[in-house]
Amino acid sequence: MLVKLLPNQISERWDLIKFAIQESTPEITEYGIVVILENLLCDIMQCWLEVEEHNGTIKLLGVVVTSVYVDSFFQQNVLRICVLYTYTDLPMHIWGASLESLRNYARGRECYKIEAFTDRAEFDALMKHLGGKFTYHLSLEV
């Protein structure tokens, strides 16, 4: 189950969120981390936890950080998944349910699409199943 955190919950769980950001984005600077924290606390960016509940015990499975921005070409809102970090491999049905939750959130924020960048090819089948498409992001350092 994907749960959106409130600002006070972000503060309480900052160490594990910061770890997830640093692990999924190794090139991020300490200043970048501070800016992300500020954006999360102001709801410019959003933090989500993927959790699983069994017999009243909640297990943390992953961290997702999103941001809504305006696509300057189409002049429409986009929900970008900026961080996608898991503590263990998750089955695709969990990812599918999480993406459906994010899709509902994106609709509420008047976004026309969700985008993310990944090198995990297994998302191709999931995207097709959800009616989306899997494309490649090109990155060239300068």
| 3-state per-residue secondary structure call for 3-56 | EECCHHHHHHCHHHHHHHHHHHCCCCCHHHHHHHHHHHHCCCEEEEEEEEEECC
Q: How far apart are CA 142 and CA 135, in angstroms?
A: 22
For 33, the token pair is 């981390």
CB 33 within 8 A of CB 83: no
Q: How far apart are CA 77 and CA 108, in angstroms?
A: 11
Question: Where in the chain are the domains?
Answer: 2-129
For the chain, the residue count is 142
**Going residue by residue through the chain (142 aa), what tens digit of pLDDT does each one get?**
999 999 999 999 999 999 999 988 878 899 999 999 999 999 999 999 999 999 999 999 999 999 999 999 999 999 999 888 888 888 878 888 998 999 999 999 999 988 887 656 666 666 677 787 666 655 434 4
**Does the domain formed by 2-129 have CATH 1.10.287.130?**
no
Q: How far apart are CA 14 and CA 65, in angstroms?
A: 12
